[in-house]
Amino acid sequence: MSSYNILLLGSGGRECTLAWKLKQSPLCGNLYIAPGNAGTAAYGTNLPFAVSDFEAVKKACLDLQIDILFPGSEEPLVLGIYDFVKNDEALKHIMVAGPSKDGAQLEGSKAFSKKFMQRHHIPTAAYREFDDGNFDEGIQYLQQHSLPVVLKADGLAAGKGVVIAQSTAEAVETFTSMIKEAQFGDASKTVVVEAFLSGIELSVFAMTDGSNYVLLPEAKDYKRIGEGDTGPNTGGMGAISPVPFANGAFMQKIIDRIVVPTVNGLRSENIVYHGFIFFGLINVDGEPYVIEYNCRMGDPETEVVMPRLENDLVELIVKMHETKLNEVTVQHSPKAACTVMLVSEGYPGSYPKGRVMTGLENVKGSILFHAGTAQKDNDVVTSGGRVIAVTSYGDTLKEALSVSYANAEKIQYDGKYYRRDIGYEF
Ligand code: AMP
Ligand code: GLY
């Protein structure tokens, strides 16, 4: 049986989980992670370059005879790493587990994704798009819009480009600073203004080869820093899978109205897509709507999705590359999984780094996926806002949560914080 050398790009909890999952495959040859963290080093070799340094990616691919390039985050995908590889004679044989630059626009441009959904009749909030050219019209539009109203910077803004304005004054002020003062740089030159949808969110994941798709386990993440979903948004404070309200009937609506039209829409528009689609959805009175697309897996959703995926991930990537996903049947574990993210005090604002972590070896019955950690001499130290994800399985969600919470207590570092209410609604 042949095996594949893999280069995974990223350094978060998602990439640590992907490294853990890839390493379990008999098809996994040498595994490299760039730049990685203290956790990924247990599964492969960390390489010291940034995910956006395409020349360094190229050199590593050639020197290390990489067969599969797996961009974990959106940044390299939106910058066009797929096209970079496919347009280079020396690299083009490499399988890229992610979409082309055009496909990554589903995440890279909110205006593109809204227009795409409109063209393919995919349910999403009503919207209008504005820039400097129709700025005055935008102000008028906001003045008559119901509240709250949602403003989204068109481009990537490190997860900060969405503002839910509670008053018209706040909406007008935000709109003005996005367009006229480049609040999010070029990303907010164009702004999508959309209706606020009220409901409970969930994340659904597909792998598509452009013709076929398979669904991975669904998940729910907890974005706010504070318990009871209060305070500022973070990258994600925890996640659960499965999602109790995502029953067969609801998932079927998602497949029929959202997943299939998205995959068919990409194909009908000749958009090259061999990769993950993350559907950020909201359940409005039993009906699913798309809040956003992402062109990669979620973080911290990956920390519960991959543990519940029973298939060989390397095999799925190879089938995705060969447009043969119709040949695989995806198996989801019947167990529940949860992850609780331990973060640094101050996050999502500024936070200290370099705090020594202890007690990791006392953790029993959970899997630790490192996020913002680094190795310093003989110590593991904090190096990010989100530090480490504590993932557990259980026969029930409650059981999984009790294991993660017991283990979260055993890990020590100055300024440790975590939400104690992950999965609270269920
Ligand atoms: P996004 O970056 O598009 O995922 O938006 C960030 C968060 O803003 C989402 O996870 C939602 O919680 C919220 N959000 C975005 N759009 C809407 C909307 N139309 N209605 C309600 N909440 C929204
Ligand atoms: N957890 C949300 C994201 O990965 O974008």
Residues 272, 210: contact at Cβ < 8 Å? yes
Domain termination residue (choose one: 81, 99, 117): 99
For residue 88, pLDDT beyond 70 = yes
Q: Are residues 26 and 73 in the same domain?
A: yes
Distance CA 281, CA 259 (A): 11
Q: Pocket around ligand 1: residues whose beta carbon is below 6 Å from it?
A: 125, 150, 152, 162, 194, 196-197, 201, 280, 291-292
CB of residue 292 inside a 6 A radius of ligand 2: no
The enclosing domain of 9 has a CATH number of 3.40.50.20
Which run of H or E residues covers position 367? strand 367-370
pTM tops 0.95: yes
Helix axes 313-321, 13-23, angle to 10 degrees: 90
Distance CA 263, CA 268 (A): 9
On whether residue 111 sits in a domain, the answer given is no
404 three-state secondary structure: helix
So what's the pLDDT on residue 413?
A: 98
On whether residue 402 sits in a domain, the answer given is no
Q: Are residues 134 and 169 in the same domain?
A: yes
CB of residue 102 inside a 6 A radius of ligand 2: no
Domain that holds residue 132: 126-195
| Residue located nearest, by CA, to atom 4 of ligand 2 | 298
Q: Are residues 94 and 160 in the same domain?
A: no
Domain termination residue (choose one: 178, 195, 212): 195
The per-residue pLDDT for range 351-392, each reduced to its tens digit, is 999 999 999 999 999 999 999 999 999 999 999 999 999 999
Give, for ligand 2, the residue of 221, 224, 290, 304 to mutate: max count of ligand atoms closer than 8 Å to Cβ.
Answer: 221
Q: Are residues 80 and 22 in the same domain?
A: yes
Domain termination residue (choose one: 195, 225, 246): 195
On whether residue 16 sits in a domain, the answer given is yes
Q: How many CA atoms lie within 13 A of 112 on its CB side?
A: 19
Q: Are residues 9 and 85 in the same domain?
A: yes
The enclosing domain of 183 has a CATH number of 3.30.1490.20
For residue 371, the ligand closest to its alpha carbon is 2
Q: What share of the chain is helix, strand, coil (3-state, %, to 5)?
A: 35, 30, 40
Q: How many domains does the chain have?
A: 2
On whether residue 34 sits in a domain, the answer given is yes
Q: Are residues 82 and 147 in the same domain?
A: no
Q: Are residues 10 and 48 in the same domain?
A: yes
Cα separations (Å) of 285 from 197, 201, 289, 329? 10, 12, 10, 31
Instruction: Retrieve residue 107's tokens.
Output: 């995440």
| Tokens 């999403």 -> residue | 124
| Residue located nearest, by CA, to atom 3 of ligand 2 | 298
Q: Are residues 62 and 16 in the same domain?
A: yes
The per-residue pLDDT for range 386-412, each reduced to its tens digit, is 999 999 999 999 999 999 999 999 999
On whether residue 345 sits in a domain, the answer given is no
On whether residue 391 sits in a domain, the answer given is no
Q: Are residues 141 and 88 in the same domain?
A: no
On whether residue 159 sits in a domain, the answer given is yes
The per-residue pLDDT for range 291-344, each reduced to its tens digit, is 999 999 999 999 999 999 999 999 999 999 999 999 999 999 999 999 999 999
67 three-state secondary structure: coil
Burial tier of 33 (Cβ tally within 10 Å: 0-12, 13-18, 19+):
buried
Find, among 288, 244, 229, 209, the residue nearest to 398 by Cα.
Answer: 244
On whether residue 94 sits in a domain, the answer given is yes
